[in-house]
Amino acid sequence: MPVDHNKIVFLDVDGPLTNEEQWYKLKADYYGIDTSLDQNILKIDSFYAEQERKRRVRDFILESPLPPLRIVDHSPPFLEDAVNRIHRLYDQTSCSFVLSSQWRIGLSLEQIQMVMERSGLQVPFVGKTQDSFTEHRAYLIREYLTQSQASSYVIIDDINFEGFELFFGERFIQTPFTTCVSEENIEKAISLLNK
């Protein structure tokens, strides 16, 4: 299918394609964080056990100077429903994708495409926002848009970063972090891109 470079989807990874549980598991596995718990705790209170695992991962990440996670070395565990919804978005709009997630940092466009395809996401990534830990995501997306020839775009992200609603209004589509991109999110994106 020919790609329409005038229609851009700025795509985040954590949240839209993975849920909270997968995010914690990926970080624990990548950084070697011990999240094992006594089997008795698991039997007595599974909710507490899951919260304790998450706390251990959060504490480890906050207390340790860690290098950024390099997804090029791994296959991110994308949710199948999320991948299918993004494929439907592409099939119904012919849009191109720009990675706006922190996962873009330090990766070439070829590496991004390889990682996404290895994880089941078969859509065309044509760019990424600038590598920066200091610039706000909204400014990086605005900068990309000013240099592109896009006539239509949407931003799919689970976090309402500073400036998103101010700069992008309805074109910012917020996904829930706990469940990933929804049917409603995709319907809105299709409608906006095909206007």
| Phi, psi torsion values for 163, nearest 5 degrees | 95, -15
Residue 14 DSSP one-character state: B
Is 36 in contact with 180 (CB distance < 8 Å)?
no
Is 111 in contact with 154 (CB distance < 8 Å)?
no
Over residues 81-118, the pLDDT tens digits come to 999 999 999 999 999 999 998 778 788 889 889 888 98
Over residues 22-45, the pLDDT tens digits come to 767 777 777 777 777 666 665 667
Structural domains of the chain ordered from first start: 4-18+76-193 (3.40.50.1000), 21-70 (no CATH)
Comparing CA positions, the residue from 18, 59, 48, 52 lying closest to residue 35 is 52
Over residues 51-79, the pLDDT tens digits come to 777 777 777 766 776 665 555 566 667 88
- Using only C-alpha atoms, the chain has a radius of gyration, in whole angstroms, of 18
What's the predicted TM-score (pTM) here? 0.79
